[in-house]
Amino acid sequence: MTTPPAGTLLAEPQAGVNVDHLVCRECARTYGVSAQHVCGFCFGPLEAAYDYERIAATVSREEIAAGPESIWRYAALLPEVGGGRVDIGAGWTQLREAPRLAAELGLRKVWLKSDAANPTHSFKDRVVSVALSAARAFGFEVAACASTGNLANAVAAHAAATGLRSVVFIPASLEPAKIAATSVYGGTVVAIDGSYDDVNRICAELAGDRDWAFVNMNLRPYYAEGSKTLAFEIAEQLGWRTPDAVVVPIASGSLLTKVAKGFRELHKVGLLDEQPSVAINGGQAEGCSPVAAAFAAGERDVRPVKPATIAKSLAIGNPADGPYALDEVRGSGGAIATVPESEVADGIRLLARTEGVFTETAGGVTVSALERLVREGTISPDDETVVLITGIGLKTLDALGDPAPTITSAPSTDQVEQLLEEVLS
């Protein structure tokens, strides 16, 4: 029997275990389940499509509650294509109330959905768990990606745990902590002297020549679906209901669009009693804010920019899902806030000071975006709001400048007491 090339599941067209087919988001042409992410007719992006009636007939809240404490409790709504799951514990992260932050901002109720506790401490573990599960089914032996840092960490870790080789591509200017947290897993790390968009272009060219699983390229229809699990978990952790608003950081725009899709899917399969009416809000740092700029201008076309931001994990100047993110925000009655660069670190400190949560720069953007959206009246004081904290602050220590102790003293109790009196009085 001849072994099919990597990237081919079975003869086309073919459905996977859960995903029914791939569909073009622009022209609606359908494709079988394979390692393909672009429509051959209009070059629009492909995404996974499901038979919701079939899923609704079998899925239940009870079945989900009895499932694993990971994203795979929602397997019925994820694009499994056979070959075994890659699961190192991504998902089922904490949703915690943030009363002190709410009081500071004048809100009735704020929740933090924090992915800092994921295996590599960011939400990217969700998407990589799904993508590498597909990669195994398609017969790939090398996992690859273009990354602003968190994705590189997740790909390297999941590949190591699965026995795949990893080759990840990053901008050379990436934070040292993120480079260390990738290279420790033993894969190949390629630093490019340029922006993420340069890295992405090089990977797109390499993907045409190499039989590799580029998780955010040829496996993107599967990879992107992992982000829906944030919406699934929020709804389940709130007692199978939805909040009034969410605030999501925007890089490529994929996370925001999939969170919105996730809420809708829960209703389609009967897990939510009411049609969700969640205001989907976004935030971008001013130094890389093409989606926010298009929102402010009332446009759908997103004009590429050259990133110059402290929020490196959001530094995608030509966001692939930008137009779709705009559609979701506008259709839900939400907004996109532009956060001045100086306020990114302010958001990190505000969250740490009020709730004891140390977030990376992307979380600083969402917290400061929330503050602006409240001030501008987009989010009202009575709106129950969930803020996505997508990564841990230990990855972006440079954003806070040079740390300094509050007090430096000689080894003298008397001097310590004197200095404490001055500081605390």
* pLDDT (tens digit per residue) in 278-290: 999 999 999 999 9
The count of other CB atoms within 10 Å of the CB of residue 398 is 13
pLDDT of residue 403: 82
24 phi and psi, to 5 degrees?
-75, 130
Beta carbons within 10 angstroms of residue 406's beta carbon: 8
Same domain, 17 and 154: no
Q: Would 252 be classed as within a structural domain? A: yes
273 within domain boundaries: yes
CA dist list (Å): 225 to 209, 328, 356, 400: 26, 16, 31, 33
What is the arithmetic mean of pLDDT over 363-384?
A: 97
Instruction: Determine which of 171-185, 256-270, 282-296, 321-335 has the lowest per-residue pLDDT on average.
Output: 171-185
pLDDT at 11: 32
For the chain, what is the mean pLDDT?
93
Q: Give domain status of residue 60, yes or no.
A: no
Q: Within this chain, do residues 317 and 229 fall inside the same structural domain, yes or no?
A: yes
Q: What is the mean pLDDT of residues 397-407?
A: 87
Residues 228 and 279 in one domain: yes
Gap between the Cα atoms of 103 and 265, Å rounded: 33
Whether residue 369 contacts residue 337, with contact meaning beta carbons closer than 8 Å, is answered with: yes
Domain containing 323 — which CATH number? 3.40.50.1100
d(Cα 168, Cα 144) in Å, to the nearest integer? 5
Same-domain status, 241 and 357: yes
Residue 5: pLDDT band by 50, 70, 90 thresholds? very low
What are the residues whose beta carbons fall under 8 Å from the beta carbon of 415, sequence distance 6 or more? 409
pLDDT band at 398, cuts 50/70/90?
confident
Domain stops at, among 172, 189, 223: 223
Q: What is the pTM of this model?
A: 0.93
pLDDT at 384: 98
Could you give the dihedral angle defined by the CA atoms of residues 349, 355, 358 and 361, in that order, rounded to the nearest 10 degrees?
-50
On whether residue 410 sits in a domain, the answer given is no
Over residues 11-40, mean pLDDT: 81
| pLDDT over 80 at 101, yes or no | yes
What's the number of domains the chain is made of? 3
The reported pLDDT for the residue numbered 16 is 55
The answer to whether residue 350 is domain-embedded is yes
Q: What's at 351, amino acid-wise? A: L
One domain for residues 112 and 132 = no
Assigned token pair, 180: 């260390």
Task: Say yes or no to pLDDT of 53 above 80.
Answer: yes
Share of the chain above pLDDT 70, in %: 96
For tokens 């997508």, name the residue.
390
Cα distances (angstroms) measured from residue 394 to each of 111, 175, 248, 356, 360: 22, 11, 20, 14, 7
Say yes or no: 129 and 198 in one domain: yes
Does residue 130 lie within any of the structural domains? yes
Please check whether residue 128 is in contact with residue 147, taking contact to mean a CB–CB distance below 8 angstroms. Answer: no
Query: What are the structure tokens assigned to 384, written together?
Result: 């129950």
- Tell me, yes or no, whether 248 and 376 share the same domain: yes
* Dist. CA 118–CA 91, nearest whole Å: 6
Q: Is residue 193 part of a domain?
A: yes
Same domain, residue pair 236 and 157: no
Residue type, 66: A
Check residue 391 and report its DSSP letter. B
Domain that holds residue 286: 95-120+224-400
Around Cβ 407, how many Cβ atoms within 10 Å?
12
Cα separation, 248 vs 365, in Å, equals 9
Give the Cα separation of 288 and 305 in Å (integer).
7
Considering the domain architecture, whether residues 193 and 159 belong to the same structural domain is answered as: yes
Q: Are 352 and 363 in contact (CB under 8 A)?
A: no
Higher-scoring residue by pLDDT: 14, 251: 251
Count of C-beta atoms within a 10 Å radius of residue 211? 14
Does residue 250 share a domain with residue 387? yes
Residue-level pLDDT at 12: 39
- For the cut 90, the answer to whether the pLDDT of residue 2 exceeds it is no
For residue 4, pLDDT beyond 80: no
Strand order in the sheet with 21-24: 30-31, 21-24, 46-49
Render pLDDT for 218-272 as a digit per residue (tens, 0 to 9): 999 999 999 999 999 999 999 999 999 999 999 999 999 999 999 999 999 999 9
> What is the torsional sign of CA 341, 347, 350, 356?
negative
My answer on whether 251 and 143 are in the same domain is: no
Residue 88 resides in a domain: no
* Co-location of 234 and 339 in the same domain: yes
pLDDT at 1 over 50: no
**Cβ atoms of 232 and 243 closer than 8 Å:** no
Least confident of 52-56, 64-68, 175-179, 317-321: 175-179
